[in-house]
Protein backbone atom coordinates (compact mmCIF):
# COMPACT_ATOMS: atom_id res chain seq x y z
CA UNK A 1 0.00 0.00 0.00
CA UNK A 2 1.82 3.06 -1.20
CA UNK A 3 1.29 6.75 -1.70
CA UNK A 4 1.83 6.18 -5.45
CA UNK A 5 -1.15 3.82 -5.60
CA UNK A 6 -3.32 6.23 -3.61
CA UNK A 7 -2.21 9.07 -5.90
CA UNK A 8 -3.32 7.15 -9.00
CA UNK A 9 -6.64 6.08 -7.45
CA UNK A 10 -7.56 9.57 -6.24
CA UNK A 11 -6.90 11.03 -9.71
CA UNK A 12 -8.68 8.19 -11.53
CA UNK A 13 -11.77 8.41 -9.31
CA UNK A 14 -11.70 12.24 -9.26
CA UNK A 15 -11.69 12.30 -5.47
CA UNK A 16 -10.56 15.30 -3.44
CA UNK A 17 -8.88 15.11 -0.05
CA UNK A 18 -8.19 17.47 2.86
CA UNK A 19 -6.39 16.81 6.13
CA UNK A 20 -6.28 18.26 9.64
CA UNK A 21 -3.19 17.03 11.46
CA UNK A 22 -1.92 17.41 14.97
CA UNK A 23 0.79 14.96 16.09
CA UNK A 24 1.98 14.28 12.52
CA UNK A 25 2.70 17.99 12.02
CA UNK A 26 1.96 18.08 8.30
CA UNK A 27 3.65 14.80 7.34
CA UNK A 28 0.47 13.42 5.77
CA UNK A 29 -0.03 16.61 3.73
CA UNK A 30 3.62 16.41 2.68
CA UNK A 31 3.19 12.83 1.50
CA UNK A 32 -0.05 13.62 -0.34
CA UNK A 33 1.55 16.53 -2.20
CA UNK A 34 5.00 15.19 -3.02
CA UNK A 35 3.96 13.67 -6.34
CA UNK A 36 3.30 15.73 -9.44
CA UNK A 37 -0.38 16.40 -10.26
CA UNK A 38 -1.36 16.13 -6.59
CA UNK A 39 -3.25 19.40 -7.11
CA UNK A 40 -5.88 17.29 -8.89
CA UNK A 41 -6.97 15.86 -5.53
CA UNK A 42 -5.31 17.69 -2.64
CA UNK A 43 -7.33 20.65 -1.42
CA UNK A 44 -6.24 21.63 2.07
CA UNK A 45 -3.84 20.69 4.83
CA UNK A 46 -4.25 22.19 8.28
CA UNK A 47 -1.78 21.57 11.08
CA UNK A 48 -3.91 22.30 14.13
CA UNK A 49 -1.33 21.42 16.73
CA UNK A 50 -2.54 23.43 19.72
CA UNK A 51 -5.89 23.09 21.45
CA UNK A 52 -6.46 26.74 20.55
CA UNK A 53 -6.02 25.97 16.84
CA UNK A 54 -8.43 23.04 17.10
CA UNK A 55 -11.00 25.32 18.74
CA UNK A 56 -10.47 28.44 16.60
CA UNK A 57 -9.85 26.93 13.14
CA UNK A 58 -11.64 23.57 13.26
CA UNK A 59 -14.39 24.77 15.63
CA UNK A 60 -13.89 21.85 18.02
CA UNK A 61 -16.07 22.63 21.02
CA UNK A 62 -13.77 23.55 23.92
CA UNK A 63 -15.93 21.38 26.21
CA UNK A 64 -14.96 18.30 24.17
CA UNK A 65 -11.29 19.09 24.79
CA UNK A 66 -11.94 19.84 28.48
CA UNK A 67 -13.92 16.65 29.04
CA UNK A 68 -12.10 14.13 26.82
CA UNK A 69 -8.81 15.83 25.91
CA UNK A 70 -7.38 16.76 22.52
CA UNK A 71 -6.21 13.16 22.13
CA UNK A 72 -9.60 11.42 22.11
CA UNK A 73 -11.99 9.84 19.66
CA UNK A 74 -14.46 12.65 20.42
CA UNK A 75 -11.97 15.37 19.46
CA UNK A 76 -10.83 13.43 16.38
CA UNK A 77 -14.45 13.03 15.24
CA UNK A 78 -15.20 16.73 15.72
CA UNK A 79 -12.00 17.63 13.83
CA UNK A 80 -12.89 15.50 10.79
CA UNK A 81 -16.55 16.52 10.69
CA UNK A 82 -15.74 20.22 10.89
CA UNK A 83 -12.89 19.91 8.37
CA UNK A 84 -15.43 18.36 6.00
CA UNK A 85 -17.65 21.46 6.33
CA UNK A 86 -14.71 23.80 5.71
CA UNK A 87 -13.04 21.93 2.84
CA UNK A 88 -15.98 20.34 0.98
CA UNK A 89 -13.54 17.56 -0.02
CA UNK A 90 -14.87 14.11 -0.79
CA UNK A 91 -12.40 12.59 1.71
CA UNK A 92 -11.38 14.31 4.94
CA UNK A 93 -8.80 13.07 7.44
CA UNK A 94 -8.07 14.13 11.01
CA UNK A 95 -5.17 12.99 13.16
CA UNK A 96 -4.61 13.61 16.85
CA UNK A 97 -2.30 11.70 19.15
CA UNK A 98 0.79 11.48 21.29
CA UNK A 99 3.99 11.07 19.30
CA UNK A 100 6.18 11.52 22.38
CA UNK A 101 8.60 11.28 23.93
CA UNK A 102 6.69 13.48 26.42
CA UNK A 103 3.03 14.34 26.85
CA UNK A 104 1.86 10.89 27.82
CA UNK A 105 -0.18 9.79 30.82
CA UNK A 106 -1.19 6.41 32.22
CA UNK A 107 -4.42 6.42 30.20
CA UNK A 108 -2.87 8.00 27.12
CA UNK A 109 0.53 6.47 26.36
CA UNK A 110 3.05 7.56 23.75
CA UNK A 111 1.90 6.00 20.48
CA UNK A 112 -1.82 6.55 21.06
CA UNK A 113 -3.12 8.12 17.85
CA UNK A 114 -6.68 8.66 16.65
CA UNK A 115 -7.34 8.77 12.93
CA UNK A 116 -10.63 10.13 11.66
CA UNK A 117 -11.76 9.64 8.08
CA UNK A 118 -14.93 11.01 6.58
CA UNK A 119 -16.02 9.96 3.10
CA UNK A 120 -19.54 10.97 2.18
CA UNK A 121 -21.75 10.16 5.16
CA UNK A 122 -19.32 7.54 6.48
CA UNK A 123 -17.20 8.59 9.47
CA UNK A 124 -14.54 6.20 10.76
CA UNK A 125 -12.57 6.86 13.93
CA UNK A 126 -9.70 4.44 14.45
CA UNK A 127 -7.78 4.19 17.71
CA UNK A 128 -4.18 3.11 17.17
CA UNK A 129 -1.59 2.15 19.75
CA UNK A 130 1.73 2.22 17.97
CA UNK A 131 4.32 0.24 19.93
CA UNK A 132 7.29 2.39 19.04
CA UNK A 133 8.30 5.09 21.49
CA UNK A 134 10.15 6.94 18.71
CA UNK A 135 8.42 10.17 17.64
CA UNK A 136 9.46 9.96 13.99
CA UNK A 137 8.45 6.31 13.77
CA UNK A 138 4.99 7.02 15.27
CA UNK A 139 4.43 9.86 12.80
CA UNK A 140 5.47 7.70 9.82
CA UNK A 141 3.38 4.73 11.04
CA UNK A 142 0.35 7.01 11.36
CA UNK A 143 0.75 8.27 7.78
CA UNK A 144 1.14 4.69 6.48
CA UNK A 145 -2.00 3.66 8.37
CA UNK A 146 -4.03 6.57 6.92
CA UNK A 147 -2.95 5.69 3.37
CA UNK A 148 -3.93 2.06 3.95
CA UNK A 149 -7.36 2.97 5.38
CA UNK A 150 -8.14 5.34 2.49
CA UNK A 151 -7.05 2.79 -0.12
CA UNK A 152 -9.42 0.27 1.49
CA UNK A 153 -12.25 2.83 1.47
CA UNK A 154 -11.95 3.82 -2.17
Reported as a single tens digit per residue, the pLDDT across 125-134 is: 999 999 988 9
CA distance 107 to 127: 13
Q: Which fold has domain 3-153?
A: Maf protein (3.90.950)
Task: Indicate the pTM of the whole model.
Answer: 0.96
Residue 131 neighbours by CB distance under 10 Å: 11
| Ranges of the chain whose pLDDT falls below 50 | none
The residue ranges of every structural domain in the chain are 3-153
CA angle 143, 117, 144 (to 5 degrees): 15
For position 133, what pLDDT does the model report? 86
| DSSP-derived secondary structure letter, 44 | E
For position 1, what pLDDT does the model report? 57
Reported as a single tens digit per residue, the pLDDT across 111-154 is: 999 999 999 999 999 999 999 889 999 999 999 999 999 999 99
Amino acid sequence: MTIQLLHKKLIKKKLTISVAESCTGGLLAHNLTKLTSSSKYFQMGLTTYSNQAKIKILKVNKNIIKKYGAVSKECCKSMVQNLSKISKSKINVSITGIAGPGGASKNKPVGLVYIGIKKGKTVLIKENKFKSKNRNSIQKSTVRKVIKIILNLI
